[in-house]
Amino acid sequence: MLEGNRVSRISVRGFAVASATAVTAVGSVVGVASGSVAQNNDAEPTAADTTLLADIPTGQQAQVQTASLTQQADAQAIQADASAKKDAEAAARKAAADTAIAKKAAAEKAAKEAKQRAEVKQTASRSSADFPVQSSYTVAEIQAMARQMVPGNQFQCFSYIVDHESSWNYHAVNASSGAYGLFQALPASKYSTAGSDWQTNPATQIKWGLNYMNSRYGSPCEAQSFWVANHWY
């Protein structure tokens, strides 16, 4: 040890800040005495050369700790940004998939409805005026008329409603309400929009009933679906 005033300084060659614990490892410290030969900085540090965070002046400790916390905050911010971006991308993919599914369902529904409308618009082979007027008609004759007036793919649905409303009796009257005919129209005079002979001609009633189902429900089969759910149409 040299006599005289000692001039010392601490040179921290490197430190690493652990983000989870804020522990700082300080590198070797080289002391240079006044008038002494400079020591080789690459020499192996001794126990006296190693300085812990607690050995660093208080002001410098605050700087080191601040740097550590800043590094942690930056790392957490980067991680949060990456997580938010990932979540946003997943939400966007889900929204796009939901939109595609909804569009597909809407397109399929529109195509189905268009097909039904096209089928309903198919002209029947005969109209009500094509059948000769008779004094009376059997159920078989009335059903034969209907088969020639109603599109084939709708006849079963059409027949279902007539079966349940009047059992194909074109003179059927509801005693309590006065509903009349094959379709139990109320008031009965509704049939007149299809022809003045509605009371005696089942073909006129069939024409009215088919028009009613098409205009109100879209088709006899849609009318049947409503009837099944509500027991009226």
Q: Which residues sit opposite 26 in a β-bridge?
A: 15
Mean pLDDT (whole number) for 8-24? 39
Kindly list the structural domains of the chain, giving each domain's residue range(s) and its CATH number in brackets, ordered by start.
128-230 (1.10.530)
Round the average pLDDT of the chain to a whole number and report it: 77
Task: Quickly state the pLDDT bin for 168 (edges 50, 70, 90).
Answer: very high
Statement: residue 161 has pLDDT above 80: yes
Statement: residue 84 has pLDDT above 80: yes
What confidence tens digit (pLDDT) does each residue in 95-131 have? 888 888 888 888 888 777 766 666 555 545 567 778 8
Statement: residue 147 has pLDDT above 60: yes
pLDDT for 171 equals 97
What confidence tens digit (pLDDT) does each residue in 37-62 have? 444 545 454 544 455 555 666 667 66
- Tokens in use for 176? 């309590």
Q: Whole-angstrom Cα distance, residue 46 to residue 64?
A: 23
Statement: residue 198 has pLDDT above 70: yes
pLDDT for 11 equals 38
**Amino acid letter for position 91:** A
Task: Quickly state the pLDDT bin for 207 (edges 50, 70, 90).
Answer: very high
Contact indicator for 204, 183 with CB cutoff of 8 Å: no
Statement: residue 169 has pLDDT above 60: yes
Task: Quickly state the pLDDT bin for 89 (edges 50, 70, 90).
Answer: confident
Coil vs helix vs strand at 180: strand
Statement: residue 177 has pLDDT above 70: yes
Phi, psi dihedral angles at 25 (to 5 degrees): -95, 125
pLDDT for 232 equals 92
149 vs 9, residue with greater confidence: 149
Coil vs helix vs strand at 225: helix
Among 61-65, 72-76, 141-145, name the one with the lowest average pLDDT: 61-65
Q: Whole-angstrom Cα distance, residue 222 to residue 220?
A: 5
Burial class (CB in 10 A: 0-12, 13-18, 19+), 188: middle
- Which residue, chain included where needed, has tokens 């084939």? 152
